[in-house]
Amino acid sequence: MDCRYCHTSVEASHEANIPPTQTCMNCHNIVDVDADELALVQESWKTGKPIEWVKVHMLPDYAYFNHAVHVDANIGCASCHGRIDQMEIVEQAEPLSMGWCLDCHRDPAKHIRPDNVSVTQMDWVAPEGHEEIMNEYIKIHGISPPEDCTACHR
């Protein structure tokens, strides 16, 4: 399932957004209808009360992250979020620390996908020679991830 089905604003906003119950029910009114794990979704659907989502991917409040910029640069969702498609319960797969982010900003080639590969394709594996090709892609497209403090600390 494409991440953008639920996270509709990820290409245009700094936030990925949390889907409304209706989005969940588009599938879950016929898939896993009686699953215990969906009790909150079913209750929300019946009462109209929004689900109080629990944040999973933690960044400090003082750190700014823009999803749209990363999607526009063809960074695969799995690079930061891991294989969500294989998680029964979503958990933070990467540290999302300042050092971890800076490592990617300094050498983004391994996380950038070719134009013909969706950023939401969870099982994509970089082929041999990918980083060299992407280093050229970075030059052609003028991709220059910021490394200064104000990029994330606003």
Query: pLDDT for 7-21, tens place per residue?
Result: 999 999 888 899 999
Name residue 115's amino acid: D
Total number of domains constituting the chain: 2
Domain range for residue 40? Answer: 3-47
- Distance, in Å, from the CA atom of 77 to the CA atom of 28, rounded to the nearest integer, reads 23
Position 75 scores a pLDDT of: 96
DSSP per-residue string spanning 15-54: S-----HHHHHHHHTTSSTT-GGGHHHHHHHHH-PPP-PP
Please indicate, yes or no, whether residues 112 and 140 belong to a single structural domain of this protein.
yes
Domain assignment present for residue 62? The answer is no
Please indicate, yes or no, whether residues 73 and 142 belong to a single structural domain of this protein.
yes
Residues 50-62: pLDDT tens digits? Answer: 999 899 999 988 9
Token digits for 29?
């009114």
Residues 76-101: pLDDT tens digits? Answer: 999 999 999 999 899 999 999 999 99
- Distance, in Å, from the CA atom of 127 to the CA atom of 149, rounded to the nearest integer, reads 33
